Structure 1
Amino acid sequence: MIKNHKLIEKSILQQVAIVLLIIIAIMGSAFMVVNQVFNYRHDYRGYNNLMKEKDDLNAEWGRLLIEQQTFGATAQIGSRAVTQLRMYSPPATQTVVISTK
């Protein structure tokens, strides 16, 4: 009887130990899931900030390209006026200043 009683106690202790190990494993797994979700959200927020910055930089790049084309067109218009239309700035002797008083 004593042997059976000790075997039953040992069996119960083993079962309790197994249940405790399972509970610890489940809790550890839950904490790791929470940590992964936190890290994902943190990284995703950083990704969104970088994408917004990329969009802002692309918009600025577009504005700079338009500005560059505008300045390039001004020089091109001046050179075409001289070469194709034979336009020139008149000398001071041919310039008349009109005053409106």
Structure 2
Amino acid sequence: MKDMSENLNLWLTRASLQAQRYAMLLGIFLLVGLVISAQLVVYTSFLARGHINHLHQLERDRNDMQVEWGQLLIEQSAWASHSRVESIVIEQLKMGVPPAQDIVLVRQL
């Protein structure tokens, strides 16, 4: 009976040591996983900040371009005003309104 008890104690001791090894391995794996996930969180936060900064720069560029577009539209309307076109036609191209007898009405049949 003593032999059986010793065998049982030996087996329990081995099982306990094996359980401790598994627990230690599990703890090490969990610690490694924790460190890796923490580093990934830091890295993704860094990338997100970079993307947000780039987005803000693009928004500033867009706003600047919208202001420039508005100024160009104003400039275009100034260059294409009827009075300016008329003065250029009269002064530079020496054009004018034709006399009434030179006007011909064209009708489509």
Q: Same fold (TM over 0.5)?
A: yes
- For the pair shown, the structure with the greater C-alpha radius of gyration is 2
TM-score of the superposed pair, with normalisation by structure 1: 0.77
Listed as ranges, the gaps of 5+ residues in structure 1 are 93-101
Q: Deviations over 1:69-97 (max 9, x none)?
A: 101101223444728xx9835837xxxxx
User: Aligned Cα RMSD in Å?
Assistant: 2.2
The aligned amino acid for 2:87 is Y
CA distance in 2 between counterparts of 1:21 and 1:33 reads 18
The aligned amino acid for 1:88 is S
Q: Does 1:11 align with 2:12?
A: yes
Q: Does 1:2 align with 2:8?
A: no
TM-score of the superposed pair, with normalisation by structure 2: 0.71
Show the counterpart of 2:24: 23
Q: Deviations over 1:24-58 (max 9, x none)?
A: 11110111111111111111111110110010011
Stretch of structure 1 that moved more, 70-79 or 26-35: 70-79
TM-fit CA distance, 1:23: 1.1
How is 1:72-87 mapped onto 2 (pairs within 5 angstroms)?
72-80=73-81, 82=83
> Helix, strand or coil for the counterpart of 2:87?
coil
Count how many residue pairs are aligned between Structure 1 and Structure 2: 90
Give the fraction of aligned pairs with identical amino acids, expressed as a percent.
4
CA distance in 2 between counterparts of 1:34 and 1:7 reads 40
